[in-house]
Amino acid sequence: MQRVLITGGAGFIGSHVTEALLARGDEVCVLDNFNDFYDPAIKRANAEAVKAAGARLVEGDIRDAEGMARLFTEGNFDAVIHLAAMAGVRPSLLDPLHYEDVNVRGTLILLEQIRKREGLKFVFASSSSVYGANEKAPFSEVDDIHRCISPYAATKRAGELHCFTYHHLYGIPISALRFFTVYGPRQRPEMAMHKFVRMTLQREPIPMFGDGSTRRDYTYIDDIVDGVVRSLDHCEGYEIYNLGESQTTSLAEMIEIVGEVCGIDPIIDRQAMQPGDVVITYADISKAKRRLGYDPHTTVRDGLSRFVEWYRQQLG
């Protein structure tokens, strides 16, 4: 049994990870500030569910240094899974200073607390966006990445570098996880799959940026949770892991599958490519397989079928 702090624990990925840890007997403290990046009522509903399952819930902000000091003292944690962040490539272009403040300064405040306490493990949620305009695919953790093309990506890469610095200076065990386009039940409503399913069911036009040939490595939430838990259990030294499905689907193919799963022909609104978007994301997961036993297996069609079933249940 471990005492685990999960920042952003009321969010999409965080609530699922919380449930997984509670189910195996860990004590979990969920920290969230319930900001209005999307409807806070969604996160509050997630929070009530994990609280009912046994999690402790704390409303607070990772940028509050004094509040974090009190929380770490009271919690006596064994590990921190840091999922709290300002998310999204396109919104980061509009408010880069806020993204820097939350994603970089907030991470540093947590690392400062961890370095004062012996033995704490740190799992840091990074992103496949750090690969930026990488021309080599699939993407490997050993690739030379120096071409981030959005403020969001730059903040996540900065977080990885700060993590390595704190591991080097203070010996903190750290797993940095590069997530590849996570989807599934409770997904944020502005994310592509959630938005496309909603628009298809409501017979609204789906914006397709570019010619539909851009490809993403879509990763189902259950597979991501498995990778996060494994990275916690194998957290030692400083390691970066890709967590993806290791298969790619084009935007046009994904929209087609959405239509098939929903039983409705999508209406497509063709638009220009957006600044900050990359042509492809594609995870080389050989390291995570070898070291963690990570073995994702959910196809996009299966994952979307589960998501649509959940979405329809939410509609009542």
C-alpha distance from residue 146 to each of 126, 131, 135, 264 (Å): 15, 8, 12, 42
Contact 275, 93 (CB under 8 A): yes
Question: CA separation (Å) from 242 to 70, 111, 131, 227, 285?
Answer: 33, 22, 11, 9, 6
Half-sphere exposure of 108 (CA within 13 A, CB side): 10
CA–CA separation, 150 vs 182, rounded Å?
A: 19
Does 241 participate in catalysis according to the annotation? Answer: no
* In contact, 261 and 117? CB cutoff 8 Å: no
Per-residue tokens: 93: 């272009």
Report how far apart, in Å, the C-alpha atoms of 40 and of each of 44, 98, 150, 214 are. Answer: 6, 18, 25, 31
Instruction: Single out the catalytic residue among 38, 99, 131, 152.
Output: 152
Active-site residues, by number, are 152
